[in-house]
Amino acid sequence: MPKLIIFYARPPFTLAFLLPPIFRWSYLKKWVFFMRRTGLAKTIIISVLFLLSAVIFIETTPAAEPFFQKGICYVTWEKERYASAHSDKSLEMLAQTGAEWVQIVTTYYQDNYDTKRIFPTEKTPSDKSLIHVIRRAHQLGIKVMLKPHIDLLNESDGLYRGDIGFQTETDWQAWFLEYQNFILHYARLAQESGVELFSIGTELCFASQKTSFWQEDIIPQIRKVYKGKLTYAANWDEYKNVCFWDALDYVGIDAYFPLTKKSNPDYAEIKAGWIKWADEIEEWQKRINKPIIFSEIGYRSCAFAAATPWEYSSSEGLNLEIQADCYKAALEVLSQRLWCKGLYWWYWKPSVYAGGPANRDFIPQNKPAETVLTYYYRGLSFAKLSQ
């Protein structure tokens, strides 16, 4: 709808372009000089000041189009891989899908879910390699989200980063101090490298419930050193429990929602599963009124990919079409939701030889899923972008 807008201005700059030539400042000065000689200067000056102090007009131009983060997660667990020629070439291939954003992942570690020291290992990308890959992405015209992770070295009991937790407040304080040092290191690197979006954490399901640490310490300290946009990547079963979304720019959801309960579902069933989750997220989003990005979304190339998309290791049979159907369903459903501002597909490897027709992993490279992704990212005009 047209909007009624009142502009208040100080001449001669703000409103000059709105006035007909006869009312522009150079003409007004000549008018005043002339009217002084005629005795009507006072009347004319008052009239002109009124015109310049309040101009009311009907705005008919459409609102600026919102942008959609057509993203892919770019991941390595090698120290210098991001700086390699293989990575440079793989990143070029990623850009050819039509992706406009890349999420660059780096990982620190702690020994167990209840240990407090957070540290890099030989699997942690070096700062030099991170700076290289960020610069290379920018050279290709791709915007960057930097997303630091924490993983457990000991996962023998089936636990993961979401299980990090402590019994006493003293232990929590000690862990958050370690975490702050870790995350501020990457926030500074992100600022120095011109990173457009920074994730303050990923799937820390227990730790994210310690709201005061995030609101009073972690987020304010990050804001001091990093001036870009912030998100937090909540697990699919965590996002409703996070209480510091108001301090961030985007809600991030790692979207490993189960879409069905059976293996080898058809496309209609997969899409129906996504519609159900999208409707639920939409009702929740109305309450918090924040834009949402899916900071991770991905599926393996195997029979139960739609039923248990969070699982890594599996002996299930290869099924490339299930992965492609899951990609298509998510893209079709989520592209119609105005609150959804981006997708980051898990994951693209810094190797031109990754994936392929015999690969059951999440990787879309050299599979039908890559074809689907490219079709939507390069060919689809998202509904939200035309409204």
Whether the CB-CB separation of 256 and 296 falls below 8 Å is answered with: yes
- Tell me, yes or no, whether 50 and 171 share the same domain: no
Q: What pLDDT shows up at residue 27? A: 43
Pick the range with the lowest mean pLDDT from 57-61, 161-165, 220-224, 350-354: 57-61
Would you say residue 93 lies in a domain? Answer: yes
- Same-domain status, 277 and 357: yes
User: Residue 18: its pLDDT value, please?
Assistant: 34
Say if residues 293 and 344 touch (Cβ distance below 8 Å): yes
Q: Structurally, how many domains does the chain consist of?
A: 2
Higher pLDDT: 60 or 267? It is 267
Q: Examine the domain organization and report whether 49 and 79 are in the same domain.
A: no
Counted residue by residue, the chain has a size of 387
Q: Locate 57 and state its tokens.
A: 């007009």
- Mean pLDDT score across all residues of the chain: 86
Quick one: 73 and 52 in the same domain?
A: no
User: How does residue 237 score in pLDDT terms, banded at 50, 70 and 90?
Assistant: very high
Q: What is the pTM of this model?
A: 0.82
Are residues 185 and 46 part of one domain?
Answer: no
What's the pLDDT band for 12 if we cut at 50, 70, 90?
very low
In tens, the pLDDT along 96-153 reads 999 999 999 999 999 999 999 999 999 999 999 999 999 999 999 999 999 999 999 9
Regarding whether 178 and 89 lie in a shared domain, the answer is yes
Confidence at 316, pLDDT banded by 50, 70, 90? confident
pLDDT in tens, 336-386: 999 999 999 999 999 999 999 999 999 999 999 999 999 999 985 444 433
Both tokens of residue 316? 């299930």
Q: Are residues 261 and 330 in the same domain?
A: yes
- In the chain, the N- to C-terminal Cα span, in Å, equals 12
Residue 284's Cα: distance from chain center in Å? 19
Residues 6+ apart with CB under 8 A from 150: 107, 108, 109, 110, 118, 161, 164, 179, 182, 202, 204
CB 341 within 8 A of CB 292: yes
**What residue has token string 């890559």?**
370
SS3 137: helix
Please tell me the distance from the alpha carbon of residue 164 to that of residue 161, in angstroms, as a whole number: 5
Which pair of structure tokens corresponds to residue 2?
Answer: 């047209």
Report phi then psi at 14, rounded to 5. Answer: -65, -40
Q: Is the pLDDT of residue 59 over 70?
A: no
SS3 category, 127: helix
Inside any domain, residue 202: yes
Structural domain contains residue 64: no
Tell me whether strands 101-110 and 69-74 are parallel, antiparallel or unpaired: parallel
Answer yes or no: do 54 and 94 share one domain: no
Per-residue pLDDT, averaged over 278-285, amounts to 98
Q: Is 254 a member of any domain?
A: yes
CB-based contacts of 309, cutoff 8 Å, min separation 6: 256, 257, 258, 259, 298, 299, 300, 326
Indicate the DSSP class of residue 297: E
Q: Given the DSSP bridges, would you call strands 197-202 and 340-348 parallel, antiparallel or unpaired?
A: unpaired
Expressed as residue numbers, the domain containing 219 is 69-386
**What DSSP designation does 359 have?**
-
* Average pLDDT value for residue range 10-25: 37
Q: Which helix (H) or strand (E) holds 105?
A: strand 101-110
Band (pLDDT 50/70/90 cuts) for residue 3 is very low
Kindly state whether residue 264 falls inside one of the protein's structural domains: yes
| Residues linked to residue 348 through DSSP beta bridges, in sequence order | 74
Shared domain check, 253 and 104: yes
